[in-house]
Amino acid sequence: MNTMSRGSVTDARLQPVMRSPLSYGALTGIYVVAILVPWALSYIEGLAVRGWYEELVQLLSIIGLSMMLLQFFLTARVDAVARQAGVDNTMRLHTKMGELVGYLVLLHPLLIVAPRFFVAPSFALGDLWDLFTSPETSTGMYAWCLMLVWVLMAVFKERTGLSYEAWRYTHSAGFVAIIILATHHAMTIGRHGRYSAWFDIMWFLLCVVAVALVVYVYFFRPRAVAKQPFRVVDCFKGSDSDWHLTIEKDGDFPFDFDAGQFTWISTSDSVFARNEHPFSIATTRRSLPKVSYVIRELGDYTRQLAKLGAGHRVWVDGPHGVFTQNARNASGVVLIAGGAGIGPIMGLLRELGDHEDKRPVTLIYGNRTIEQMSFMDEIASLECVLNLDTQLVLEQPPENFTGLPGFINQEVLSGVVSQPESINWDFYICGPPVMVKAVEESLLSLSVAPERILYEQLGF
């Protein structure tokens, strides 16, 4: 094991990843328990049970509010949580649960009046109208309307024409307003105002924590990031589509990472500008104090990387993520990269090279064209150090191409999975979300155990 920088670790921030980080499944389990706690507590009140339907509506209302509050916690990047669970995992859960929260909130008034449509249909629409117009439910109604607009904005994020940064600010501001209104609604109307003061105070305090987490992300987190200044060493086109960016620590502060992790980087003048983008580290800790990234040209930010001259200030938030080889016991490793996914995959491959690992390693690397391939020479030289088998896959292969044409699909993967010893191998996937999902599904349908599949999507 390389101890180059681990040996001098004294600061708690220098333990970026636990030896055994929480899996996504375990995180989801903790999440489910957490959202059920307020519902369980509501029974301490001893309010009479009023039939299964009302109890179901109560359950859905309470877990809906709990989930809304937890959404803030999942994106807060609090170091202690990030180290245990991985920001990639918490962001993934935030995105998945966001959809469910949207449905729960939007269905909430409809679920309340639904029985009226069966019992007294002629009054049901009137009841629904009362629900939306009565002064007692006004904060709930405002929260519901805002939620509708914000859910639509999240669903049609790409079509709104907003830059990611503008979208992020509006997303945060909108949901702060929604959570304040929804908490007020729960405290005044929840079970018709019959909960005791302590139950209402609990919602109030949880709401205060949620808003405080937003304040932390936008105002206090940048102060911590300001203590980690880096400078650009170089930034050049390493392939037709990808920039290879190398930055270097600009000061004597502790910084360490595990191969495969990512950081948010901001090249704005002010650390408070929050114009930050997540990119995965392509090197190992042997490269410190330098850190490198492979960045695909995609949109407004990544298209202007040419402007980054040597010496340009870079703010680094991280490292984050659990896409690492820590605490794994595989007898072989399969690394699958699509496009810019080669960045963290190179980090993992280089780490295996640093350790002169003797296990069988397979690299499957896909791109659209041969001109988009990076690190071909380095991969060839790693084949001399490692027991490495490389398979290149191209959507548009040139005439003399010796790799595989098309996509990284089940057919390509079955060649690896058919080897009997692969049952104990780890499969690392990194690339655009669509590619990661397709490869993961192929591996699962080839009977690879879910716990053997680790992935990082280049997008939350």
Ligand X SMILES: Cc1cc2nc3c(=O)[nH]c(=O)nc-3n(C[C@H](O)[C@H](O)[C@H](O)COP(=O)(O)OP(=O)(O)OC[C@H]3O[C@@H](n4cnc5c(N)ncnc54)[C@H](O)[C@@H]3O)c2cc1C
Q: Which listed residue (293, 425, 427, 428) binds ligand X by CB under 6 A? A: 293
H helix or E strand, kind and range, residue 314: strand 313-320
Please select the residue that binds ligand X; options are 343, 353, 366, 431, rule is CB under 6 A: 343
Of 17, 172, 20, give the one whose Cα is nearest residue 80.
Answer: 17
From 100-108, 173-181, 206-214, 287-295, span contacting ligand X (CB under 6 A): 287-295
The residue from 181, 265, 340, 388 that contacts ligand X (CB under 6 A) is 340
Nearer to ligand X, 229 or 432 (CB): 432
Does 302 contact ligand X by CB under 6 A? yes
Q: Is 428 in the site for ligand X (CB under 6 A)?
A: no
Q: How far is the CB of 294 from ligand X (least distance, A)?
A: 6
The pattern of x and - marking residues 135 through 164 that bind ligand X according to CB under 6 A reads: -----------------------------x
Reported for 9-13, long-range contacts at CB under 8 A and 24+ positions apart, including other chains, are 9/254, 9/256, 10/254, 11/254, 13/79, 13/254
Among 13, 116, 191, 277, binds ligand X (CB under 6 A): 277
Q: CB of 70 within 8 A of CB of 34?
A: yes
Interaction between residue 262 and ligand X (CB under 6 A): yes
Asked if 17 touches ligand X (CB under 6 A), the answer is: no
> What is the CB neighbour count within 10 angstroms for residue 205?
11
Tokens for 211, please give them. Answer: 């808003």
Stretch that binds ligand X, among 6-14, 143-151, 189-197, 290-298 (CB under 6 A): 290-298
Would you give the distance in Å from CA 44 to the centre of its chain? Answer: 36
Task: Mark 439-458 with x for binding to ligand X (rule: CB under 6 A) and - for no binding.
Answer: -----------------x-x
Least separation in angstroms between residue 277's CB and ligand X is 4
Q: Would you count residue 296 as binding ligand X (CB under 6 A)? A: yes
Helix ranges restricted to H, 120-233? 121-133, 138-155, 164-189, 197-215, 221-225
Judged by the rule CB under 6 A, the positions of this chain that interact with ligand X are: 88, 164, 262, 276-280, 293-296, 298-302, 340, 343, 456, 458-460
